[in-house]
Amino acid sequence: MTDVRDSNDYRPIPFRPDRLPEAEMLDRARAFHDEMERRRSVRFFSDDPVPRELIEWAIRTASTAPSGAHRQPWRFVAVSDPALKREIRVAAEKEEKESYENRMPDEWLEALRPFGTDWHKPYLETVPWIVVVFAEQYQMREDGWKRKNYYVQESVGIACGLFVAALHHMGLATLTHTPNPMQFLSRLLDRPPNEKPSILFPIGHPAADATVPDLARKPLEEVAVWR
């Protein structure tokens, strides 16, 4: 069997993380679970400012995600300009209104009913930050050169998960907003044709009177299979 480390292109560095005692590993696992169990998707935000440095660190953390051939095919576009947030809200609500009134089948609308959502998205102007994640389908240069990226959807999805965890860990709230279609984000944010909008994250502190749906996560036995 060929060992990938025998490749002439492989440039290794040592990897020697400390091996923790099992009891400490379990303590860490429980503590992280308990922290993430408190995470909720928020739709009621305060307009209190959030330092740019916090967003920068969340993006850095997201960028530690594994990716196909280490192409890191994500772009995080952070928006704080009030006029641009207004434009995003107007365009998003236009698409969402059309979806709620004409595109979504009754089954989908019924599934959303417990969440109390509709096409109104005022939080897109309330939050101090909107971060839109774009998936880079291929790398591109001005001279027309292109290079394909691999497992783009999976890579970007993992990065977004780490982004959400990083925001929650630092005490901020967010929501995974996916207006459909999303092409207006490419236009408003002046993104090149090789990038496709994936998820829009409004980011800030929860409003003092914020509420969230009374939900429960599935227990382990419903989401895990052991063979």
Q: What is the pLDDT of residues 151-207, one digit of tens each?
A: 999 999 999 999 999 999 999 999 999 998 999 999 999 999 999 999 999 999 999
Q: What is the pLDDT of residues 31-41, one digit of tens each?
A: 999 999 999 99
Q: Give the pair of three-digit tokens for residue 89.
A: 């809200």
Q: Identify the pLDDT of residue 55.
A: 98
Q: What is the CATH number of the domain that holds 190?
A: 3.40.109.10
Is residue 223, in this structure, part of any structural domain at all?
no
Is residue 19, in this structure, part of any structural domain at all?
no
Write out the E strands in the chain: 74-79, 129-136, 138-140, 146-148, 173-174, 195-204
- What domain count does the chain have? 1
Q: Identify the pLDDT of residue 10.
A: 83
Q: Identify the pLDDT of residue 141.
A: 80
The DSSP element (H or E) to which 158 belongs, if any, is helix 152-169
Q: Identify the pLDDT of residue 5.
A: 56
Q: Identify the pLDDT of residue 3.
A: 57
Where the chain has pLDDT below 70, the residues are 1-8
How far is 62 from 205, CA to CA, in rounded Å?
20
Residue 203, domain extent:
41-207
How far is 58 from 54, CA to CA, in rounded Å?
6
Q: Give the pair of three-digit tokens for residue 134.
A: 């774009």
Q: Give the pair of three-digit tokens for residue 148.
A: 């394909």
Is residue 54, in this structure, part of any structural domain at all?
yes
Statement: the pTM of the whole predicted model exceeds 0.85: yes
Q: Identify the pLDDT of residue 27.
A: 98
Is residue 29, in this structure, part of any structural domain at all?
no
The DSSP letter of residue 181 is S
